[in-house]
Copies of this chain bind each other. A is one copy, B any other.
């Protein structure tokens, strides 16, 4: 019934003072050793480390940053239900931690708004904020930017908000690449299922329209209301199937949306890509699955993460310029401080796009495609 004395006493965790007492030195010296700073002898250093190990000492991150004015803490707000944000987080960790910065996460979900998320990050004394796809009004972002550097990832802001940096993919360019690819294959009736008010949706829509115009296909352009989910893609696909003329290619807002489209086409026995080509956006894990094998526009997630973290750190370590030095129309993707960083997307061609069977009215009818792509029942 008598439990053995636990190796580590539960009640109170060891402090600097405990280590100091055990090693027979002052707390200041222990602090020096723990931070691997200079100012301690080799022998003493060893003795202190030994003592710390013996009693299982761990520095208290909060007490530490209370004194040192730099906290080296980046606050990241993300949406729980967005796989894309998870990918970004992975990249953010990978860049921030080697650079000597810690990450404080704060999630946004149905029951927890952005206000609450950023409030806790501020209370945690983050030095800068990285917001993934924020939906907050511009005024709120400006308010935050008045207190600390703010980086908005994947959300474009109308007009520049002082103090807020934007890191995003060139969504219009991505849509253009998709349309160009389809046109090069011979498609003319290309529809777009859009993302409504989602971040990036407006740009993709515009990029689609612009590209169609440039190819002289303005009168064939069709934008259908869609969304971010399979469900919305499926709904739009049903509409498309009933449309006349039926499009020979579809650019969906993202991969999830495209997956919904594929599912409906499959059920309706419409062959992809022979009868209809489909393109997604994001190059998510989904798109890479062998049986989906989706042609898609890839976002350069590592680069987005690197830029977001880099911008935040640059603002912290550079001159403390308060105002925003908005850079004009420079969308080269270069790392221009104070402006907008735009990362180029790249088309990933997989199995859901091919030349159309009919090349439009009066066009050539090529040899019929090989039927269903990919896996049948074989082993």
Contact with B along A250-269 (1 / 0, CB 8 A): 00000000001001101110
Contact among B10, B61, B112, B289 for A147, CB-based, below 8 A: B10
**Could you tell me the distance between the alpha carbons of A144 and B228 in the complex, rounded to whole angstroms?**
40
Query: In the complex, what residues of B have CB within 8 A of residue A119's CB?
Result: 58
**Could you tell me the distance between the alpha carbons of A58 and B148 in the complex, rounded to whole angstroms?**
13
Query: Is A99 an interface position by the 8 A CB rule?
Result: no
Stretch at the interface among A36-44, A188-196, A237-245: A237-245
Copies held by the complex: 2
**Could you tell me the distance between the alpha carbons of A7 and B145 in the complex, rounded to whole angstroms?**
11
A375 with B234: CB separation less than 8 A: yes
Contact with B along A91-110 (1 / 0, CB 8 A): 00110010000101111011
Shortest CB–CB separation between residue A246 and chain B, in angstroms? Answer: 9
Query: Is A198 an interface position by the 8 A CB rule?
Result: no
Q: Which residues of A contact B (CB under 8 A)?
A: 3, 6-8, 10-11, 13, 56, 58-63, 65-66, 80-81, 83, 86-87, 89-90, 93-94, 97, 102, 104-107, 109-112, 119-120, 122-125, 146-148, 229-231, 234, 238-239, 241-242, 260, 263-264, 266-268, 285-286, 289-292, 320, 322-323, 372, 374-379
Given contacts A60-B123, A90-B107, A94-B111, list 10 more A-B pairs with CB under 8 A: A13-B147, A62-B66, A80-B86, A93-B111, A105-B107, A234-B375, A239-B379, A260-B289, A266-B267, A267-B376
27 pairs of residues in contact across A and B, judged by CB atoms under 8 Å: A6-B146, A8-B147, A10-B148, A11-B320, A58-B123, A61-B123, A62-B65, A62-B124, A66-B66, A80-B87, A80-B90, A81-B285, A90-B107, A90-B112, A93-B112, A105-B105, A229-B289, A230-B286, A234-B291, A234-B375, A238-B378, A260-B289, A263-B266, A264-B375, A267-B372, A267-B374, A268-B377
